[in-house]
Amino acid sequence: MLTYEYGDPAADVVLIQPVDDHDLAEIELEQVAVRERTGKDFRLIAVKVSDWNFDLSPWEAPPVFGDEGFGGGAEAFLAEVLKLCADPGKTYVIGGYSLAGLFALWAACRTDVFSGAAAASPSVWFPGFAEFMKANPVQAERVYLSLGDREERTRNPVMATVGDRIRETYEWLKDLGKECTLEWNPGNHFRDAGLRTGKAFAWVIGGQDEPAGERKG
């Protein structure tokens, strides 16, 4: 597993993020967004994903766009990620963008290691994920959700469900008594990924400075 580390290596707060090359290109912008919004020290471990659709998908699913389906390798990937969370004195937050955001939510349902989940524009349209979350409640106490306000306006019938699914997820989390927020950002799925991810992590580690609730970004 290839990792890249940023921030303060001695920080008590450790952010874990699955990344691809596009994420790495925006990682500096993301860190600035976290620092400016929190003023807190943090260590960011970016975990390079070798096969995005395989490593981050919780189970097999047919292609939604293009010809590539989803391989269901998230369980094995999570096992490797958890090796990075071995210090009981640290606070660990899992987060990411798009399918990595979905992985963060799924991981927060599978283990109580993470105190928070930062899911920026997560792929909650993923087939069967809504049912999974109902049966396997999130164990993290703080959960950030976001979506671009144009993301559900797509001709793809599966991906067009993302707006309804994110609203449902937000309501379920509130019903569970979790501290959560749903932020609507301007634009489609491909706009400001680094900034959106930074805002996600910042809200989770920002404590009471970042109020819960639904809001526009």
- Euclidean distance between CA atoms 163 and 165, whole angstroms: 5
State the pLDDT at residue 151.
86
**Domains in the chain, start-ordered, CATH in brackets?**
3-216 (3.40.50.1820)
Helix (H, G, I), strand (E, B) or coil at 145: strand
Whether the Cβ atoms of residue 203 and residue 180 lie closer than 8 Å to each other: no
Average pLDDT over residues 109-137: 96
Is a pLDDT exceeding 90 seen at residue 156?
A: no
State the pLDDT at residue 209.
59
State the pLDDT at residue 68.
86
State the pLDDT at residue 188.
76
Which residues on adjacent β-strands are paired with residue 142? 116, 179
Q: What is the mean pLDDT of the chain?
A: 93
DSSP string, 29-92: HHHHHHHHHH----EEEEEE-SSHHHHT-SSEE--SSSS--EE--HHHHHHHHHTT---TTSEE
Q: At 135, is the pLDDT very low, low, confident or very high (cuts 50, 70, 90)?
A: very high
Which run of H or E residues covers position 114?
Answer: strand 114-120
Q: What is the pTM of this model?
A: 0.94
State the pLDDT at residue 67.
79
The label of the residue with tokens 């400001």 reads 192
Of 14-18, 62-66, 78-82, 203-207, which range is least confident? Answer: 62-66
State the pLDDT at residue 211.
65
Which run of H or E residues covers position 199?
Answer: helix 193-205
Is a pLDDT exceeding 90 seen at residue 17?
A: yes
Half-sphere exposure in the Cβ direction for 32 (13 Å, CA): 6
What are 23-63's pLDDT values in tens digits?
Answer: 999 999 999 999 999 999 999 999 999 999 999 999 999 88
State the pLDDT at residue 87.
96
Of 54-63, 152-161, 206-215, which range is least confident? Answer: 206-215
- Euclidean distance between CA atoms 172 and 192, whole angstroms: 27
Q: At 142, is the pLDDT very low, low, confident or very high (cuts 50, 70, 90)?
A: very high
Of 112-121, 155-164, 207-216, which range is least confident? Answer: 207-216
State the pLDDT at residue 1.
87
Alpha carbon 187 to its chain's center: 18
- Euclidean distance between CA atoms 91 and 41, whole angstroms: 12
Helix (H, G, I), strand (E, B) or coil at 211: coil
The percentage of the chain sitting over the pLDDT mark of 90, rounded to a whole number, equals 82
In the numeric block, which tokens belong to residue 162? Answer: 């993302």
State the pLDDT at residue 207.
62
